[in-house]
A and B are shown apart, each in its own frame.
Chain A
Amino acid sequence: MTKPGVDLTPYLRQEMMPTVWCPGCGHGIIARGIATALMNLGVDMDQLAVVGGIGCSGRAPFYFDANSMHTTHGRALAYATGLKMVNPNLTVIVPMGDGDSAAIGGNHLIHAARRNIDITAIIFNNSIYGMTGGQSAPTSPLESHSTTTPMGSIEPAFDMVELALAAGATYVARTTTFDFQEMPKLIEGAIRHHGFSVVEVLSQCPTYYGRLNKLGEAPDMLLYERDRTKLLEAFGPPPEITREEMVGQLPIGLFRNEERPEYIDQYHGLVARAGGGK
């Protein structure tokens, strides 16, 4: 956990401060969580690549004093895949929006998970498209309001944890910006994990989601996150829990942490068999 007075500035790109994020936005809390995890792990920033897409969340790469890549909407994981394969020494973290990862980039997410490539995806899930001004996302809950669902959404939402588990991610966790003390631990685990990791962080967008759904100000939204989630008992297998039960009781914690052959290791095995080893 980050103690008051801990200095995270060596991990942050000072010339890009202040961030573009609105006051009260949850994305800054997630960035802090990532920086804390980097500090706790002692990650060499020369060997860290932060590869983001487009959205408020997609701006995160600018704020880390590392090798930063701000790519196109939804494609960050595909960029990161090429980058990591040719330079496996890099630690690769991919901050993604919920629209970025679940809508336009959904295909890349499931295939990165299926391959089990050693990349850490962090989904900044604010249940809405923040950057473009509050449109509905695939993660917007049924009946929630946005500028494109003015009468309430008629679409069910994706559960990003279920999606990541089904697609084969080998480290899957969910936390919230309310749980800012737990968050770095889950992110640390994800970075340490050798394989594809997904950490979904429920974030608040007071500017659009909060306002359009009458959830109050940022502190009210943090309490809303607290009240709609329930910490998993242990770091065991995902609980048998139905969608109905999950309303008001969305599980958070570590859902999976298991070893499965990692994609680049597999590829290097293939290179060795082909006689192409250097």
Chain B
Amino acid sequence: MRLVQGNEAVALAAVHAGCNFYSGYPITPATEIMEMMARQMPKTGGVFIQMEDEIGSIAAAIGAAWGGAKAMTATSGPGFSLMQENIGYACMTQTPVVVVDSQRGGPSTGLPTLPAQGEVMQARYGTHGDHEVIVLTASSVVEAYRMTVEAFNLSETYRVPAILLLDAVLSHMRENVEFPDVPVRERAKPVIDEHFLPFGPDAPFVPFGSGHHTVVTGMSHDETGLPKALAGQAVQRILMGVAERMRRDAREITFYHEISLDDADIVLLTYGITARAAREAVELLRQDGVKAGLLDLQTLWPFPDWLVKEKTAHAKAILVPELNLGQYVMPVRATLEGRCPVEALGRMDGELFTPEALVEAAKRLASSVEIGGVAHD
């Protein structure tokens, strides 16, 4: 057991996952990750570089991946915005890379030291053109550790950028933790012959220097990597294949916690830091006779529609509290297609939800759908 900060847990987890390249640019509240990596990388023989901006940071990380590294960069909102174009390059070139975004109040410079969840949609759709990414989040220091390792693992497995969303509170929070031993997916070193298709279905990620003269391009290309005729069809085939593989493995790649969902009338659907208040709220609601339950997601994208359907099958209403003006509530609503009311509860003032605020909102929702046993006070 030791007292560890959220950002420190991310850095330690990255080292555990085999990260041997870190590039970044300082920004609150993510800076400590970079400072830790500046000490850790030289000690472990990895590379650390402070780049001239966040565009350079993500670009260097992707370049490092093609040099054979497990690469990571970390930032916050303003830097995350700058990274978007090149995150798309990683999608198009099927490059494993991990991007941490510790969310702070926004838009623009916003509230640099205060938490938010404003980048839930940006993490999924921020780069231009359609694509698939993995987005994970966490609500505790130990979970931040676990999800960082999983971000590396999933990024390797599916050859997509994996984005880990933290927030200002989790980044700076200290908790007593015992780090779990999360298994690490090692990169296969396949034997390459002249028939190797670097972007073929399920092709392993083979960095430069293997002897295969791979072409890596952000232009639409086929399985050879070359931007040949009918590249539009080819890239659709390739990227749909990536999405298909993630859908196929949805149960393995969807991380979540649940509390009292079996008989829940009111389901609180949360992610990230908000889960902490929600856990307490569910307990308080139960004490007051409201059958409340919690579905707390760590895998935000690909959207686990199957899980949301399964876990809310008997719910009479769903409350989605978020530190934004209502982002993740949208796919939840779309998934349930009017089966029951899905209520958004949003704030972007830099404050967290208290359990009491969630209790109140849940009771209001319960009475609006006329669930028995609710005291109207």
Query: Are A82 and B62 also in contact (CB < 8 A) when A65-B213, A275-B43 are?
Result: yes
Query: Are A84 and B213 also in contact (CB < 8 A) when A78-B56, A111-B52, A275-B43 are?
Result: no
Interface size class of B (residues with CB under 8 A): 35 or more
A51 touches B63 (CB 8 A): yes
B52 touches A82 (CB 8 A): no
**A67 at the A/B interface (Cβ < 8 Å)?**
yes
Interchain CB contact (< 8 A) of A83 among B63, B86, B211, B218: B63
Query: Which of the 9-residue segments A68-76, A136-144, A228-236 touches chain B?
Result: A68-76
Query: Are A79 and B213 also in contact (CB < 8 A) when A67-B208, A107-B56, A274-B42 are?
Result: no
- Taking the nearest CB of chain B, how far is it from the CB of A74, in angstroms? 8
Interface of A is mostly: helix
B69 touches A86 (CB 8 A): yes
B62 touches A61 (CB 8 A): no
Which A residues are CB-close (under 8 A) to B86?
72, 75
**A4 at the A/B interface (Cβ < 8 Å)?**
no
B56 touches A111 (CB 8 A): yes
Query: Which of the 9-residue segments A31-39, A42-50, A192-200 touches chain B?
Result: A42-50
Tell me the count of chain A residues lying within 8 A, CB to CB, of chain B: 43
**B197 at the A/B interface (Cβ < 8 Å)?**
no
Closest to A273 in B: B42
- Taking the nearest CB of chain A, how far is it from the CB of B292, in angstroms? 47
Contact pattern, A 109-141, Cβ under 8 Å of B = 1, otherwise 0:
001000000000000000000000000000000
Query: Are A270 and B42 also in contact (CB < 8 A) when A13-B213, A86-B21 are?
Result: yes
A75 and B66 alpha carbons, distance in the complex (Å): 15
A87 touches B226 (CB 8 A): no
A81 and B69 alpha carbons, distance in the complex (Å): 13
A274 and B38 alpha carbons, distance in the complex (Å): 11
- Taking the nearest CB of chain A, how far is it from the CB of B194, in angstroms? 13
**B47 at the A/B interface (Cβ < 8 Å)?**
yes
Question: Which B152-211 residues sit within 8 Å CB-CB of chain A?
Answer: 207-209, 211
**A187 at the A/B interface (Cβ < 8 Å)?**
no
Which B residues are CB-close (under 8 A) to A267?
42, 47, 49
Which B residues are CB-close (under 8 A) to A81?
49, 51, 56, 60, 63
Which A residues are CB-close (under 8 A) to B41?
276
A61 and B85 alpha carbons, distance in the complex (Å): 20
**A108 at the A/B interface (Cβ < 8 Å)?**
yes
Which A residues are CB-close (under 8 A) to B64?
82-83, 85-86
A68 touches B216 (CB 8 A): yes
Query: Are A75 and B55 also in contact (CB < 8 A) when A68-B216, A90-B209 are?
Result: yes
A66 and B65 alpha carbons, distance in the complex (Å): 17
- Taking the nearest CB of chain A, how far is it from the CB of B264, in angstroms? 47
**A278 at the A/B interface (Cβ < 8 Å)?**
yes
A72 touches B59 (CB 8 A): yes
Please report B residues at the A interface, Cβ cutoff 8 Å. 20-21, 23, 39, 41-47, 49, 51-53, 55-57, 59-69, 71, 85-86, 89, 207-209, 211, 213-219, 226-227
Closest 10 CB pairs of A and B: A82-B63, A82-B60, A82-B64, A79-B63, A78-B59, A274-B42, A86-B67, A78-B56, A67-B208, A87-B67
